[in-house]
Amino acid sequence: MVSAALFDLLPDFGSRSPHASHAATPRDAGHMPAAPAAQAPQADIGALIAEAVADAEATLEARLALAHQAALDAERQASDDAARAFLESFGGDLGAAVATRIEAMEQRVAELTGSTVARIIGGLLSDDLQQRSLQALSRAIGAAVADNEAVRIGVRGPLSLFEPLKAALGSRAANLDFVEAPGFDLTVSIDETVFETRIAEWSASLSEVLS
């Protein structure tokens, strides 16, 4: 009976409801553990990963765009440099070719001018030599006729030279016996004396000097 009474005095921790326990005293409340704080909501890992991937893609795209633009700028600069070098080289070659051509043209013009002037001067000198030769012949014939009007004077050469000589002699040309012959000189025979204009010889010498 004593055992049963002791059992009745011991609290039943297993079957007794928490609400059946006596109310907590202020002293008991001081020794009770504090209630745990409210747990923060768990972050969305998938959203964070997606955001990080998007940021990485944007950064990579920006870097690729900068690299592509830099490559285009470098290629454009290289093309501009190559074009500039080509134009400078082409301009130099063209300038040299033009200068050479102008120099050749100047030399050719000088040669043509010199040749033309030489021909003009040669023609003038030849005409002057012809005139002087005919005047000398005219004086020689005039002197011969004055000494002996009956003398016959033989003239041989081209008609182009005989006509001016005949005109220069006037009435004294009646004493001339003309025989036309090819050539550039007149040969005049008075008795045993022979006169010659020597125009061809002088013209050849003049051409050599002027050439």
In a domain, 174, yes or no: yes
Backbone CA torsion sign across 140, 142, 147, 152: positive
In a domain, 156, yes or no: yes
Band of pLDDT at residue 1, cut at 50, 70 and 90: very low
Residue-wise pLDDT for 105-137, tens only, equals: 667 665 655 455 445 444 544 566 667 767 777
Helix (H) or strand (E) holding 117: helix 45-147
Q: How many domains does the chain have?
A: 1
Residue 154 has which token pair? 């033989």
In a domain, 55, yes or no: no
For 175, the domain range is 124-210
In a domain, 172, yes or no: yes
Residue-wise pLDDT for 24-79, tens only, equals: 555 554 555 555 555 555 667 878 888 888 888 888 888 888 888 888 888 888 88
In a domain, 132, yes or no: yes
205 pLDDT above the threshold of 60: no
pLDDT computed for residue 36 by the predictor: 53
Whole-prediction pTM value? 0.34
CATH code, domain carrying 192: 3.30.360
pLDDT computed for residue 117 by the predictor: 45
| Beta strands 153-157 and 187-190, pairing class | antiparallel
The mean per-residue pLDDT over the stretch 1-22 comes to 49
Residue-wise pLDDT for 73-105, tens only, equals: 888 888 878 777 776 676 666 667 766 777 776
2 pLDDT above the threshold of 50: no
In a domain, 73, yes or no: no
In a domain, 77, yes or no: no
In a domain, 192, yes or no: yes
Residue-wise pLDDT for 141-186, tens only, equals: 777 666 665 567 788 888 888 888 888 878 877 888 888 988 777 7
pLDDT computed for residue 94 by the predictor: 63
pLDDT computed for residue 167 by the predictor: 84
Helix (H) or strand (E) holding 153: strand 153-157
The CA distance from 66 to 64, in Å, is 5
Band of pLDDT at residue 6, cut at 50, 70 and 90: very low
pLDDT computed for residue 155 by the predictor: 85
